Amino acid sequence: MGSRERKKAALDKKLEKLRIVTNSTAVKVKTLEKGFQIDVFSERNCPGMLRSILEAFDEVGLEVFDARVSCTDNFHLEAVSDQNEGLPESIDAQMVKQAVLQAIRNCSRHDQD
């Protein structure tokens, strides 16, 4: 592992600690050949968050074919998705990230009501 990778790994660990302290949310979306790798972390786990995120995937035309979810103390989702065939290929990582963040905001608002 090079110096740059070590620095990035150390920075990622520090950022994760800050998220825990500040009760924040992180969404990372990596573009794959025919889909996306999506990593979601939220210190706050509200009822229905998984459903909201999966609905957001559906709305932008993504089909999840592999996922790992933990929602014991906080919410963590790692998912690999593929674009539904027949949909335009204009979906990018930023669109997926915004859809997930909006789903989390909507879930949080409903939880506060």
- Percent of the chain residues past pLDDT 70, beyond the cut: 81
Query: Residue 22 in contact with residue 60, Cβ under 8 Å?
Result: no
**Mean per-residue pLDDT, 38-60:** 90
What pLDDT was estimated at residue 21?
Answer: 53
Domain map of the chain by residue range?
24-112
Give phi and psi for 86, each to the nearest 5: 90, -10
Which pLDDT belongs to residue 22?
57
Question: Residues 62-84: what's their mean pLDDT?
Answer: 90
Q: In what order do the strands lie in the sheet with 35-42?
A: 25-31, 35-42, 75-83, 62-70
Check: pTM over 0.85? Answer yes or no: no
Give yes or no for a contact between 57 and 99, defined as CB atoms under 8 angstroms apart.
yes
Does 24-112 carry CATH code 3.30.70.260?
yes
Measured distance CA(2)–CA(5) in Å, rounded: 5
pLDDT of 55 > 70? The answer is: yes
